[in-house]
Amino acid sequence: MPEILKVDTNISEEFVLSRAADILAAGGIIAYPTETFYGLGADATSEKAIRKIYDLKGRKFHNPISVIIDNEEKLYPLVSEVPAVSLILMKTFWPGPLTIVFRASDKTSPLLTAQTGKIGIRISSHRGAMVLAQKLGHPLTATSANLSGAPECSTATEVANQIGDKVAAIIDLGKTAGGRGSTIIDVTSDPPQILREGVISRTSIQNHVAIKD
């Protein structure tokens, strides 16, 4: 059974997130809440931990894994270029549910990019997810906390029922918004292309930048 990390009268959010960060730093896998669904967290700089994510989800290695960072400075080691249009998107929609796909740097694990040469990145607007990434000090994997092909989870109980025997810990900070996942936009093409329309609508993005039809 996983360790359930939950805030109550005797346990602070600070303790919960610090404990979770320690598990991540030791190579463990946790489930944590984001502004959309629960995510599967691993240290994205550890190939061993990333492999655990693929094994846990029953996922093929040709599916990329996106990451959450806690500030824009963490972006630059992960990517080979930051197009001007991405700066507009970051300023407008970060922190928030917009995953921006960049051309990856040669320092980024091909396990994250699935050999595509691209990496999806966002700064989460969920305080718990952002602080967790900050405490870890490394990018945090942000794939959904579910088996491949199964429904996404918006509560810790749903996570426990689906994959509880496969993770070291579950952070229970309450129910997430659910509904739709993050919007994914690829800025390696000109103009950028929306790969998945999620919480942030195509229209909202078009109000700020031109995108591919």
What are the boundaries of each domain within the chain?
A: 3-206
Instruction: Give the per-residue pLDDT at 46.
Output: 98
CATH H superfamily, domain 3-206: DHBP synthase (3.90.870.10)
- The residue among 6, 137, 36, 139 whose CA lies nearest residue 78 is 139
> What distance in Å separates the CA atoms of residue 70 and residue 75, rounded to the nearest whole number?
9
Q: What is the CA radius of gyration of the chain?
A: 16
Instruction: Give the per-residue pLDDT at 213.
Output: 84
Instruction: Give the per-residue pLDDT at 60.
Output: 77
Task: Say what the pTM is.
Answer: 0.96
Instruction: Give the per-residue pLDDT at 59.
Output: 79
